Amino acid sequence: MIKKKNRKRLLFIPLLFSSTLPSIADEKIDGQHVFIQQCSLCHAIDKKKLGPAVKMMSHEAEVLHKVIKKGKNAMPAYAGKLTNEEIKSLVDYLLTNQ
């Protein structure tokens, strides 16, 4: 049985997170953050790692979006792993850094 003191703490936790969720949802997705979290293991801006450098990738948004979503060769598909908004933000970041 949960002690009365611990019950109060457990009730406070959802309030702590619920007050921050709307502000997180309202924030614009940062393509650089997505790149660092999801892509930087295999890609760099100006040099080849496991995958091509960003500067050597396609300069067409549609092509980048399709490759990120469906994958290509050794690159896995990110549909279902990233939202459309995250993919769009990532494509914008890639194009800006070419």
The enclosing domain of 42 has a CATH number of 1.10.760.10
Q: How far is CA 90 from the centre of its chain?
A: 7
pLDDT of residue 29: 87
Place of tokens 């890609």: 43
Domain span at residue 83 reads 28-96
Q: pLDDT (tens digit, 9 = 90+) per residue, 37-90? A: 999 999 999 999 999 999 999 999 999 999 999 999 999 999 999 999 999 999
Identify residue 52 by its one-letter amino acid code: P
- The pLDDT score that the predictor gives to residue 2 is 54
Residues 85-96 have a mean pLDDT of 98
Tell whether 84 is covered by a domain: yes
Alpha-carbon distance of 30 to 3, in angstroms, equals 43
- 89, part of any domain: yes
* Rounded-to-integer distance, Cα 98 and Cα 93, Å: 9
In a domain, 81, yes or no: yes
Residue 9 lies in a domain: no
- The verdict on pTM exceeding 0.85 is no
Tell me whether residue 65 is in a domain.
yes
Q: Measured in whole angstroms, how far is the alpha carbon of residue 25 from the centre of its chain? A: 14
- Tally the domains of the chain: 1
